[in-house]
Amino acid sequence: MQQLEPFDLILFGGTGDLAMRKLMPALYRRVSAGQITAGSRIIAVARSNHTRDGFLAELEAKCRPHLGAEEFTAEHWQTFVALVDYLSVNATVPEDFDRLAAKLKGSEDRVRVMFLSMAPNLFTSTCENLSRAQIVTPQSRVVLEKPLGQDRASAEAINQLVGSIFEEKQIYRIDHYLGKETVQNLIALRFGNMLFEPLWRRGRISHVQITVGEHVGAEGRGEFYNQTGAMRDMVQNHMLQLLCILAMEPPASADADAMRDEKLKVLRALKPMSELDVQQKTVRGQYRAGAVEGKPVPGYLQEPGVPPGSMTETFVALKAEINTWRWAGVPFYLRTGKHMADGARIVSIAFREPPKSMFPAGS
């Protein structure tokens, strides 16, 4: 495995759920595999007024449960945390970024990654303050974690502001769901096996179902989740990415731009929904108090940070249609929800029944 040159990773939202459950465990694995070596720095940034020792204690309590027993060793953990630092920064306070600039001083020639694992309404102020404090260098990268805004107008505003500070080649808009093995396997299934290509179309496929169930609920993220909901949190990014992989035409290469171009064709071919379609082809709901795997859970409206009477959805199901020659008339059913009894992620391709069965009914 290729070792990386020393770099600085500044993780905004460093105390957040995504950082503790996904990002920090992933970085630990890269350190334990020898890909990230001594000299690199992982600087967690958040509003919490932690000392470094206090943050490392929280990191161990929240991150370690997401590492398998077979991959965790005390030696690797100590090597990992030796690279980790913490700095309290409020994304809306310009003066806080001066302290970050001071911590980074002297490392302007190395790769500097700003990973924004935070609410999208903080993207612009964070980038503006990074620029004001002269933290952005030619070797810098900025990673924008989904969702990218609340609607089209806010997404365009974010892209415009970030693009005025970083060159396009420095900007990484990511969807961490695409890193899952199941998603990667879908690409291999579709484009690495000629057996399926003649069957992957209308006339052969009856319908497609994409289901993403989650055992967890809002669980301490009520304030964030209430501004997002299942539609923005899962459907408009993760699930549409899965739909694009399933429905897109074979790209000319595995190049990122070629893949993106084919995905865009699918998104542009999605049939728009009228108000009547929304009533007939979509379902929204919230989880109530109950039990998951035998453990009692509160209802969504009882979660900390969720205002009384919130209408934010925690479950969404919809029927999508793609107006292309390959997929016209084939419905794509998407459904996702929190605190579901079944936490499975399933992509189901239903092929059409043969015109006549040689087997008796019920056999």
Active site residues: 238
Using CA atoms, how far residue 336 sits from 103, 152, 212, 218, 285, in Å, is 42, 22, 5, 14, 10
Nearest alpha-carbon partner for 145 in 168, 115, 167, 124: 115
The whole-angstrom separation of Cα 363 and Cα 359 is: 7
Contact yes or no for 100/87 (Cβ under 8 A): yes
Rounded to an integer, what distance in angstroms lies between the CA atom of residue 210 and that of residue 328? Answer: 18
d(CA 5, CA 40): 8
Q: Contact, 343 vs 214, CB < 8 A? A: yes
SS3 192: coil
- Chain mean position to CA 244: 16
Q: Where are the beta strands (DSSP E) in the chain?
A: 7-12, 41-46, 84-88, 111-116, 140-145, 171-174, 205-213, 282-285, 290-292, 295-297, 315-320, 332-337, 345-351
